[in-house]
Amino acid sequence: MEHIIRIDDLVFEYKREEQLEPVRAVNQVSLEIERGSFTAIIGRNGSGKSTLAKNINALLLPSSGAVYVKGLNTADDTKLWEIRQAAGMVFQNPDNQLVSSIVEDDVAFGPENLGIEPGEIRRRVDDSLYSVNMYEERKKAPHLLSGGQKQRIAIAGVIAMRPECIILDEPTAMLDPHGRAEVMEIIQKLHREGITIILITHFMEEAAKADRVIIMDSGRVVLDGEPAQVFLHIEEIKSLNLDVPFAVDLACRLRKRGVEIPENLITTEEMVEYIACRFK
C-alpha cells in the first residue's frame, strides 16, 4: 500500500519562558499513514496528539526528524501550499475557524486562496455543501447554525480544496451528542469516498469506527494497530487514564465471568447485535 504521510523520528520541542528546559511535546515518533485509511489518534490532554497533527500540515515544523506528505518534506518552504492543500485540517472550536458571515463564502475561502477560477469554485462549493448535507443552509450566517452544522461547514471548507487527506483535531469535543453523530457520519462517508482520515479524539466510541488506532502518551506512541487488537490491552489503556469503548469493557467483564465473547466486537452496535443473537 502507498503511504500518503510518513513521519520519521519526529521530535517537537517548545520553550516555555519560565522554564529553561524545553518541553518535548512529541518525542521520537515514527509513523506511516496509508492512502485511503482511517486512523484515530487517542491520548490524554498534553499527550502530544494535537502537536503531531499540526506537524503534518506544516503549521508547526519539526525540531528534529522529518514529516513527508505525498513525499514532500514539510520543512520545504516552496511546497508549503501544496502540502496544506493535500492535507486539510479541521479544528476543535467550530466558531473560531469560520471566516465569512455567509456559509457559502466561507466554503469558498480555501479555493479562493488557491487561486482557482470562479466557475470552478462555484462547482466545488456546491459539491462540498451537498456532501456534508448543508446545501440548503448555504446563504445563512454561521452564527445561526448549531455546533454540528458549523463543524460540517468547516469540513466542507476543507473538502472544497480537494485534499487527499483530512486531519480532524477533536472535531466533536465541543458538540452535543446529536452534533457528534452528524459529524461522525460525514467523516465515515468521506472515508468511504477514498479520502484519508486522521481523527484525533478522546471519544473511544469514535476511535472504534476507525481501521487503525494509535494511542499516545507523553509524546510517544504507546499502542498502534487495528482497533480490536489495540483494545485488547485494556489494562494498559486504563493505566493511561483512558477509557475503552463500552462494548470492549463489557466484553472484558463478561469474559471474566466465563462468558465466551469474540475479540473483534468493539462498537456498541456490534455488541448489541451479538448479544441479541446469542441470548434470544
Partner 1 sequence: MIRDITLGQYYPGNSWVHRLDARIKIIWTFVYIVSLFLIKDFWGYIAVLVTLALIIGVSRVPLKFILKGLKPIFLIIVFTFTINMFMTKGTPLFTLGFLTITREGLYNAVFMGIRLVFLIIGSSLLTLVTKPINLTDGIEKLLSPWQRAGLPAHELAMMMTIALRFIPTLLEETDKIMKAQMARGADFESGNIMNRAKSLIPLLVPLFISAFRIAQDLAMAMEARCYRGGSHRTRMNGMKLKKKDGVACFLMLAYLALIVLQRGVW
Listing DSSP states for 11-54 in one string gives EEEE--SS-SSPEEEEEEEEEEEETT-EEEEEE-TTSSHHHHHH
- Please select the residue that binds partner 1; options are 122, 140, 220, 233, rule is CB under 8 A: 122
The Cα 47–Cα 30 span in angstroms is 15
Residues contacting residue 75 through CB under 8 Å, at least 6 positions apart: 58, 61, 62, 66, 67
- 125 binds partner 1, rule: CB under 8 A: yes
- Please select the residue that binds partner 1; options are 78, 115, 258, 280, rule is CB under 8 A: 115
Rounded least distance, CB 92 to partner 1, Å: 8
DSSP 8-state assignment for residue 76: -
- Please select the residue that binds partner 1; options are 16, 20, 21, 143, rule is CB under 8 A: 143
Number of residues forming the site for partner 1 (CB under 8 A) = 42
The Cα 38–Cα 188 span in angstroms is 8
Cell numbers at 252, concatenated? 472484558
- 79 binds partner 1, rule: CB under 8 A: no
Rounded least distance, CB 73 to partner 1, Å: 18
At position 99, the amino acid (one-letter code) is V
Give the contact letters, 4-43, x = binds to partner 1 (CB under 8 A), - = no: ----------------------------------------
Output 68 or 231, the one with its CB closest to partner 1.
Answer: 68
Half-sphere exposure of residue 157: CA atoms within 13 angstroms, side-chain side: 26
Rule CB under 8 A: which residues touch partner 1? 54, 57, 59, 81, 84-85, 88-89, 91, 93, 95-102, 104-105, 108-118, 121-122, 125, 141-144, 154, 157-158, 161
